[in-house]
């Protein structure tokens, strides 16, 4: 590899790892959670705020930025870091998933994906080589290979064909990729079948990417299915490369997944539920819009050090949501992202101190899971969960 | 007066005055512009940000807060300052204007106003004494007397009756008001007739309020009519009391009105047009959504020191508006409020330096007026211009 990106494992505890992803825009201590800046903005908050929450890397969507304002426009304006005012590491999803979830009238051939824009209905063709070119133009630190993500419930044959095409595209992405200051990650597919997952992990490992993502999960399958596939797949990936579980997940998912050896995550949950009044707490998620918070003078979460919790009462945030004030979603977003980043920090510490198993046990005992999948589906098209924040 | 509020004029230049309003929550250098926090939040921005923009006092609406979450609720939660996290001075509009612009099925008698809530259709009666009680419960620094604001175009008889009722209510408000740490301002009515305005100013002056507002303007009348009434009325008010021009106005209006001796303003314009991409500049207002800013790497306004201008390009804000990102309105709001506060600061300096006439002449020459009234009407119910930010 000629990439300026490196990945250094400092400590392992079982399969779990505490490590550092080094990029030309700074270091990312892992396990890490990436806030989602779909269109070049973490909804409602500034890059300064995202940084202050303890975020070291963010995710943007090449599909969205390609359509608007255009990868070429962003390149002329100095690249995505300059454009959006975030000087830390950025990873872009290649657009494969978004084409399948948002694009209309799509047709997939070995050439690439043909689809209509969800914005204006215009017709586009994006090949694996195009996906590399656009992400290089954006100038991000980590580009993702173009993949074909089957829908949950697709038959075995379709899942296998999508995986095989993903493998062929992975080869072409690797060959087309040129920027030495940009890492390229491959994406494991194979649906919900362990054998296919093993085959996909082996094939992609042979291609020698800078990091590996587990894709095609969190697409509507039951939680235990996702956990079974994730826990099986992660350890099959190279130990010296970063492992990224795409589109996952709830706090409980993250706590489990670091135990499988996953290093990085992104998910719309903390930001999307925030805009609807869902507030994460150590004991589980609450709806701040509930009447019981109407005169609650305490913070959103006791002991939280986020801007919302240190400046405003739960009663005020409750009022802001009922009054449909813009500040409501902003304060809830700040809190939820801080909750996620604090959790990642605790997970890193637990791995380093070899106390991960105890931390997990404690977390499972105190945290009441929400039906996150149902909630996310209710808030927006489920399959778009990885495409918007 | 037993009020802890005082007003000290430091310098006069023609009718214009540079002064200080002193409250228990801090000093307000005047001329001053109050950002609007209708429901206890300047839309999309935090109190820290409002302060950093150079704001010394904000306006909230007693009508909105009475209906939601309730003045009693806010009182139990420690008052409006604590509730919304703003420790500087707050003025509340009494609700008179909002009842007339937002309330449904209203009936006005000498008892007070009877109306249905714009939120849930519930029936309410608010007397002048109630208006005092609610504003005292909110604990704001400046309460406004309950007034009856006639519509633009009402016949002379109705305008006169509304004015006379406003005078009777003003007496009752003065008599009912008890908080020594809260100032009470009277509101001059009298429509667009100079004689009535003179009569109203004289009647209210006799009641001895802590400050005086010119109400009933900026309700749809032509700009020169508003200027004629404002310029005539302001000098009739006591020289040793603060003069507040309600619901006004555009940058040009402010530049003119300080010359009449007006000390304080509030207006929805800078925040409301911000959320639709209207950006104030020294030369006039622009639409940042215009295609010509698509690749503009400069700031929203050259030389501006606001957070938006020092961190992001016009091209990025253009993109945020087109992508319907929440950050768009927030950045535009920060810029426009900074523009207004910088203008107020320049006006204060010009008065102190006895250069106001030259400043006004220069401003008129370089600033191209927008059709603000038409624009505001287009963005929302015109008559609600004082009721929302």
The residues, ordered by sequence, that sit 6+ positions from A54 with a Cβ below 8 Å of its Cβ are: A338, A341, A342, A344, A345
| Token couple for A181 | 């200051």
A85 close to B (CB below 8 A): yes
Q: How much is the average pLDDT of B314-338?
A: 98
Residues of B in contact with A85 (CB under 8 A): 311-312, 316
A43 close to B (CB below 8 A): yes
Q: Of A20-24, B107-111, B324-328, where does mean pLDDT reach its minimum?
A: B107-111
Catalytic residue among B93, B130, B253, B263: B93
Q: Supply the pLDDT for residue B204.
A: 98
Q: Supply the pLDDT for residue A386.
A: 43
CB pairs under 8 A between A and B: 111
CB contact under 8 A, A41 and B325: yes
For A39-67, give the DSSP string.
Answer: TSS-TT--HHHHHHTT---EEEEHHHHHH
| Whether pLDDT at B40 is above 50 | yes
> Alpha-carbon distance B127 to B111, whole Å?
6
Q: What is the pLDDT of residues B198-238, one digit of tens each?
A: 999 999 999 999 999 999 999 999 999 999 999 999 999 99
Cβ neighbour number for residue B1 with a 10 Å cutoff: 12
| Whether pLDDT at A227 is above 80 | yes
Q: Supply the pLDDT for residue A384.
A: 40
Domain boundaries, chain B: 6-267, 274-366
Cβ neighbour number for residue A187 with a 10 Å cutoff: 28
Q: How much is the average pLDDT of B63-81?
A: 97
E-only strand ranges, chain A: 6-13, 16-23, 26-30, 32-34, 58-61, 90-93, 104-109, 112-116, 123-126, 142-144, 183-188, 211-214, 242-245, 264-266, 278-281, 284-287
Q: Supply the pLDDT for residue B383.
A: 40
| Token couple for B214 | 């010119």
Q: Supply the pLDDT for residue B180.
A: 96
Q: How much is the average pLDDT of A24-31?
A: 98
CA-closest candidate to residue A336, choices A258, A377, A275 = A275
B228 close to A (CB below 8 A): no
Q: What is the pLDDT of residues A309-368, one digit of tens each?
A: 999 999 999 999 999 999 999 999 999 999 999 999 999 999 999 999 999 999 999 999
CB contact under 8 A, B83 and A325: no
Long-range (24+ apart) CB contacts under 8 A made by B250-254 are B250/B369, B250/B370, B250/B372, B251/B280, B251/B339, B251/B340, B251/B343, B251/B363, B251/B367, B252/B363, B252/B364, B252/B367, B252/B369, B253/B223, B253/B226, B253/B227, B254/B31, B254/B33, B254/B340, B254/B343, B254/B344, B254/B347
Measured in angstroms, the CA of B48 and the nearest CA of chain A are apart by 10
Could you report the predicted ipTM of this complex, rounded to two decimals?
A: 0.95
Nearest Cβ partner for B84 among A69, A297, A316: A316
Q: What is the pLDDT of residues A139-188, one digit of tens each?
A: 999 999 999 998 888 999 999 999 999 999 999 999 999 999 999 999 99
Residue of A nearest to B119 (CA): A323
Residues of B in contact with A314 (CB under 8 A): none
Q: Is A33 helix (H, G, I), strand (E, B) or coil?
A: strand
Mutate to test the interface with B, among A40, A65, A320, A325 (most CBs of B within 10 A): A325
> Alpha-carbon distance B91 to B100, whole Å?
19
**CA B161 to the chain's CA centroid:** 25
The residues, ordered by sequence, that sit 6+ positions from A386 with a Cβ below 8 Å of its Cβ are: A93, A97, A98, A101, A218, A246, A247, A266, A267, A268
Q: Supply the pLDDT for residue A12.
A: 98
For the domain made up of B6-267, the CATH class stated in words is alpha beta
Q: How much is the average pLDDT of B150-175?
A: 95
Residue of B nearest to A87 (CA): B311
Q: Rounded mean pLDDT of chain B? A: 94
A319 close to B (CB below 8 A): yes
A150 close to B (CB below 8 A): no
Nearest Cβ partner for A312 among B69, B85, B329: B85
Phi, psi of B368 (to 5 degrees): -85, 115
Cβ neighbour number for residue B279 with a 10 Å cutoff: 25
| Whether pLDDT at B343 is above 60 | yes
Q: How many residues does chain A have?
A: 389
CB contact under 8 A, A297 and B325: no
Nearest Cβ partner for A319 among B40, B45, B312: B40
- Annotated active-site residue B193? The verdict is no
**Helix, strand, coil shares, percent, chain B, to 5:** 45, 20, 35
Domain covering A6-266, topology: TIM Barrel (3.20.20)
């Amino acid at each position: 590899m000629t990439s300026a990106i490196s990945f250094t494992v400092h400590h392992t505890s079982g399969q779990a790892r505490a490590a550092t992803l080094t990029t030309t825009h700074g270091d990312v201590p892992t396990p890490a959670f990436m806030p989602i800046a779909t269109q070049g903005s973490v909804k409602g908050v500034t890059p300064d705020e995202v940084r202050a929450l303890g975020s070291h890397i963010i995710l943007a969507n090449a599909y969205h930025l390609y359509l608007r304002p255009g990868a070429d426009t962003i390149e002329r304006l100095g690249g995505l870091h300059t454009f959006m005012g975030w000087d830390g590491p950025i990873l872009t999803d290649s657009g494969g998933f978004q084409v399948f979830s948002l694009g209309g009238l799509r047709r997939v051939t070995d050439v690439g994906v043909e689809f209509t824009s969800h914005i204006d209905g215009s017709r586009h063709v994006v090949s694996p080589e195009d996906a590399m070119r656009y992400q290089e133009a954006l100038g991000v630190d980590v580009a993702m290979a173009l993949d074909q993500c089957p829908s949950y419930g697709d038959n075995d044959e379709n899942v296998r064909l999508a995986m095989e095409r993903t493998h062929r595209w992975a080869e072409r992405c690797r060959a087309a990729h040129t920027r030495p200051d940009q890492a390229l990650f491959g994406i494991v597919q194979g649906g919900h079948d362990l054998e296919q997952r093993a085959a996909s992990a082996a094939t992609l490992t042979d291609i020698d990417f800078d990091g590996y993502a587990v894709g095609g999960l969190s697409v509507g399958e039951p939680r235990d299915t996702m956990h079974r596939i994730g826990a099986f797949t992660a350890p099959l990936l190279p130990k010296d490369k970063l492992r990224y579980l795409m589109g996952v997940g709830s706090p409980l998912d993250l706590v489990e997944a670091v135990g499988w050896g996953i290093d990085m995550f992104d998910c719309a949950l903390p930001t999307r539920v925030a805009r609807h009044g869902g507030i994460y707490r150590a004991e589980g998620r609450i709806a701040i819009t509930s009447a019981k918070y109407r005169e609650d003078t305490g913070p959103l979460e006791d002991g939280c050090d986020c801007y919302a919790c240190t400046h405003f009462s739960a009663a005020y945030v409750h009022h802001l949501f009922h009054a449909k004030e813009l500040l409501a979603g902003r304060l809830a977003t700040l809190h939820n992202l801080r909750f996620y980043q604090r959790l990642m920090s605790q997970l890193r510490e637990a791995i380093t101190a070899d106390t991960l198993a105890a931390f997990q046990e404690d977390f499972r005992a105190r945290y009441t899971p929400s039906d996150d999948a149902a909630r996310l589906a209710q808030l927006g098209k489920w399959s778009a969960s990885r495409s918007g924040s």
